Structure formats: C-alpha cells, structure tokens
Chain A
Amino acid sequence: SAVISQKPSRDICQRGTSLTIQCQVDSQVTMMFWYRQQPGQSLTLIATANQGSEATYESGFVIDKFPISRPNLTFSTLTVSNMSPEDSSIYLCSVVEGETQYFGPGTRLLVL
C-alpha cells in the first residue's frame, strides 16, 4: 500500500497570507487528489492532479485560490492563497494505487 506523508502537519496562519502544503508518496502514482475537510464535515474534493497536465478543479474551487503543482510522480503541493478564516480545515492528499485510494495524515490549518 502507498505511504503518504504531508508537511506541515498543522499550522496557524494569519488571514491574507498563503500556505503551501507538500505531499510525498513512497511510490510513483499517476493520479493524486487534494481534499478539504472542514470542521465537522465530510471530505470535499478540491482537485485532481495528474503529472504532466494541469490540475482539474471541482466546482467551487479555482486555481487562483488553490494552485497545485505536480512536478513528478511522487510529489505534489497545494497552496492555499490569500487565506481567510473560512479556509480553516484539514487538507488531505490522496493517491490511487491499484484499485484503492489512500490518504495522507492531513494538514490541519487554522486561519486567524
């Protein structure tokens, strides 16, 4: 099974600033996903990031707010730009290996 790590594990940020979250996988994967889990809510897919192509964003999410990089098959970053308190969430990286989807431990973000 894929092992996923995320950095940072948590952060507290001021509104108006940006935070870049890193996701590292221990194997090469084609499909990588970024999810958001707002307090007390289920997971919401932000975007799908495939290596070598532009990320595909879900309804309600735009590239200017959540730019994503996918430089190779084991790494991706998600930036939360111009943060507001509404961006306080857990952000999870996820990959597909075989027929199973695996999740990273998440990055807990609090925006003041």
Chain B
Amino acid sequence: AQSVTQPDIHITVSEGASLELRCNYSYGATPYLFWYVQSPGQGLQLLLKYFSGDTLVQGIKGFEAEFKRSQSSFNLRKPSVHWSDAAEYFCAVVTYSGAGSYQLTFGKGTKLSVIP
C-alpha cells in the first residue's frame, strides 16, 4: 500500500539555524508530492509540490524540497529558520487507485519548535 513516512515526530532548532524535515514515500509510480504546514489553531497551508521535472522545488516562506527517486525521499529544507516557522509539517503523496479516483495520503507530521 502507498504510504508516507515522516521519521521525526518532533524537531527543535535555534532561530537562524538550518532545517531539514525528512519524508519518505512508498509508491510504485512517479509520485505527486506535497508539503503542508499547519500553524497552531490554523488550517493547512500548501508550502510546495512536486509533479515532475526539476527535482529541486521552491516553495513559499523560503522553503524548498528535493525529490530523490533513488532514496524515495522528498525532504523539506530551509537555510535559516524564523521563530514564526514553529508549526507542524505534513508530507503527503497523491496516489491514483484507478478508474479516475485518487487520494491524498499524509504522513503523521513533524512538529517543529524554534528556540529564540
């Protein structure tokens, strides 16, 4: 079955430090991959997405992610974290189950804390 794994439940970084959030997927075909952010008490916001082409994807708020097929990974990165980046981050993969239907499968999320 298709799945998404986020190995890190909780990460703490200092403000200004670099960040990498890990995401591994399990899907036989070319995946459509997303990263969402959920700030406390807020809904989900799309950070970036990958469909095809350039494997390094730029998103909003200074985030980027790199698709690595050989490692089945789609890790999210930011060179310098701001205190406002403290939130929960979800990796997701679109999986097509045939007959025109599909679903979005989410990882369990990584909570990011930022130390001033």
Interface set of A (CB-CB < 8 Å, partner B): 33, 41-43, 45, 48, 56, 92, 94, 99-106, 108
Contact = CB atoms under 8 A, between A and B. Distances in A.
Contact of B109 (A33, A42, A99, A104): A42
B43 A92 contact: yes
B34 interface: yes
B49 A100 contact: yes
B90 A42 contact: yes
Given A45-B104, A101-B94, A103-B43, 7 more contacts: A42-B107, A42-B109, A45-B103, A92-B43, A94-B104, A101-B34, A108-B41
Interface in B79-116: 90, 94, 101, 103-104, 106-109
A94 B102 CA distance: 14
Contacts of A48: 101, 103
A34 to B, nearest CB: 12
Interface of B: 32, 34, 36, 41-46, 49, 51, 90, 94, 101, 103-104, 106-109
A92 B104 CA distance: 13
A73 to B, nearest CB: 17
B107 A101 contact: no
Contacts of B44: 43, 92, 103
A101 B41 CA distance: 20
B54 to A, nearest CB: 16
Nearest to A105: B43
A56 B18 CA distance: 42
6 contacts: A42-B108, A99-B32, A100-B46, A101-B34, A103-B36, A108-B41
A43 B43 contact: no
A104 B106 contact: no
